[in-house]
Structure 1
């Protein structure tokens, strides 16, 4: 009886205090459980639907897969690989502009890495600085990193990252390999008739679309033994947080070398910047958009130094140290307005960095299928810097061929009608007695 009175008193108190009875509270709680269950089922169905649609291009949509934890090691490895790759390329083209996207190359090769096995996988891991990470860790970390990159709420900054696999319809690939590229890299997977003359145009149109027309061609021709293309495309457009006044842009000298200069349009601005200065260089960070999530960094060797000396200290360890040294400071900046594009085949650089086996008949890509090797890694970029901001795009293509289908080499033609290198060698000892380049035979 006392228990009943207590229950009734509690009921009356809740009715007066909260306007709800015990019976209704239990009903609401039950309804909440049902509601969350429905939402949970809906989310599962949504994820299933996303997986089913993962073969469709989703360049500007953040990843919709299961939640994965970011791993800073994947960013560090991509940056470290990027500095190594840049070092190889700038040494080969000392007098030319070199502009690469380490992220684009790293992502394209990470997808390819999913098909590598044995010593080929070990060589790629060393080159890509992925040692110490398992394949699931690498994939989930890239998925999380891509999600974070694309999580952009700033209307003044556009960023899209898209991946695709284009498979020869006459060749079968390991389903697990294709599924991982879809699940973790949101790759569009398409089967194409590689014998069709229009196949390369289909691939190039995808690249053109996902770089906003800045890169129109990444695949020149499709060879008979070609079985697969793995492609990454990145597009970035950011307006400066503080745009340059076009009226302040004027012609000033730009010194290409110590003895060679030209007049060039230079943009000028003064304000508060994140700035760092050492004995060797000045450095400034120019932010994009409202929140400054992205910035354009400029490192200018001092007049008593040069880029060659700067490059001797350019590595991921120093870069990370430099990034902590920037402080807010008032100042004036003048920089050139410029636009350039860059194209390079990365085979030689990647071989030098340790990936030679992946390009040879010894390549082991059994995770993809049988008897595959990389034929060509091609990289193209575009960048324009002006008063409004920066527009940049990159595309990387990894071509895969079937080693068992390689045709016999055709007889070569060598027409020595341009400058050439020559040498006189003792073939018994290997000694090079003479070497030189003939620019103007007389």
Structure 2
């Protein structure tokens, strides 16, 4: 039997966690929320299980963060991210899409701790977790989170997790413990019947995305008992900022071929660059060390974005990234800002985890008669002369029932037509955000 922590130990852990949440986030934010509902009125666990189980939270020494990373989890997250992105493109490839695969994967990993039986198997398939046990997934997730945060003096990156449970809900203490220990999740008991309950959850999202995303919960239905949330906030200043005086209106050509005038930023310099017969690609670094970069993939004039997406997958991505090399060139790209929102149930079901949303769902490691009601994802991104701001939130609802040699000639990359972009941590190889920009908006 686990020994309860003393009041002094509990207060110390709460203060330490509050300090970690107090860090300021600047340019990008992502949040994932998982919402849960229980399928029957009977619960077997004590209603006060949440309030009485303030488990301690583990922290990793800074020196161990990069050295101990398990590349299997990053690889799984990358495959899952591209698979999910492909499903969203299948739903509608004529509009802007911008998601945080890292945020979504983290929220679903927390939920995965409550899955059992065939539901766990289905989620493992969708999340590309095959070959890893739960302990490996959780340990690797904790180390990855620690490694990602605040990588540079000019880059802010914060990852926050939370669980919000109805005061009458009963969740298994082991499920709560794992999410606190490995994901540093803040656990809150809340009276879901109160009219201000959604506001309390939304205020957490707003705080942890620096106001970029203000709401993820519109209302709480009577059968909802749990919300699992992840928030990622990122702010990065370009290593070499674009000069505002170099920004001017130039034509951008939409999917229809229609031309629109749009503010375009321009600069010349040495960049990590890759080009093949189908596209050009450039990496624009953030901060002093360039650990995190903004990648732009631009289909050539004789190709198009749909053709590019036919070849976009985790294996090709790794091949392309390995072939970037230093090259002098000129870059012109649109300044843009956008919001994006999607319900991910259909996309996740297409990846194989449909059972988690149906009455046969098995979340017995979380509680009694649970299923996922809805997985929602919201993002914000702004790219300008100074850098990039991005935010994302995902919600899951549980309901009752090789280097290229430098070229002699400088390249010219004019991003004046639809393109794919990604924000990647080059050290851990994690993709923080990815998007399809068919019409830049300001």
d(CA) in 2 for partners of 1:190, 1:203: 10
Match of 2:171 in 1: 173
Residue 171 of structure 1 aligns to a residue whose secondary structure is coil
d(CA) in 2 for partners of 1:46, 1:263: 62
Does the 8 Å contact 1:47/1:65 carry over to 2?
A: no
Which shifted more, 249-258 or 372-381?
249-258
Residue 132 of structure 2 aligns to a residue whose secondary structure is coil
Match of 1:385 in 2: 383
d(CA) in 2 for partners of 1:130, 1:238: 30
d(CA) in 2 for partners of 1:91, 1:387: 32
Does the 8 Å contact 1:59/1:161 carry over to 2?
A: no
Q: CA deviation at 1:92?
A: 1.1
Does the 8 Å contact 2:149/2:156 carry over to 1?
A: no
Q: CA deviation at 1:402?
A: 1.6
Match of 2:85 in 1: 86
Does the 8 Å contact 2:114/2:175 carry over to 1?
A: yes
Residue 99 of structure 1 aligns to a residue whose secondary structure is strand
Match of 1:235 in 2: 233
Q: CA deviation at 1:70?
A: 1.6
Give a deviation string over 1:27-74, Cα, whole Å, max 9, x none: xxxxxxxxxxxxxxxxxx99987656687583467x852567320011
1 or 2, which has the higher helix percentage? 1
Residue 230 of structure 2 aligns to a residue whose secondary structure is strand
Count matched residues: 358
Give a deviation string over 1:299-318, Cα, whole Å, max 9, x none: 00000000111011100001
d(CA) in 1 for partners of 2:363, 2:129: 17
TM-score relative to the length of structure 2? 0.78
Does the 8 Å contact 1:55/1:189 carry over to 2?
A: no
Residue 58 of structure 1 aligns to a residue whose secondary structure is helix
Q: CA deviation at 1:390?
A: 0.3
What RMSD in Å do the two structures reach over aligned CA positions? 2.0
The reply to whether residue 149 of structure 1 matches residue 111 of structure 2 is no
Give a deviation string over 1:196-221, Cα, whole Å, max 9, x none: 01000000000000000000000111
TM-score relative to the length of structure 1? 0.78
Does the 8 Å contact 1:60/1:150 carry over to 2?
A: no
Residue 384 of structure 1 aligns to a residue whose secondary structure is strand
Give a deviation string over 1:341-375, Cα, whole Å, max 9, x none: 10000011111111111001100000111000000
Match of 2:323 in 1: 325
Match of 1:65 in 2: 59
Does the 8 Å contact 2:286/2:387 carry over to 1?
A: yes
Match of 2:129 in 1: 130
Match of 1:294 in 2: 292
Give a deviation string over 1:239-263, Cα, whole Å, max 9, x none: 1000001001001000002531100
Structure 1's unaligned 5+ residue stretches are: 1-44, 404-442
d(CA) in 2 for partners of 1:57, 1:352: 40
Does the 8 Å contact 2:150/2:156 carry over to 1?
A: no
Match of 2:268 in 1: 270
d(CA) in 1 for partners of 2:110, 2:271: 38
Structure 2's unaligned 5+ residue stretches are: 1-6, 24-56, 402-442
d(CA) in 2 for partners of 1:180, 1:151: 24
Tell me which structure has the larger Cα radius of gyration.
1
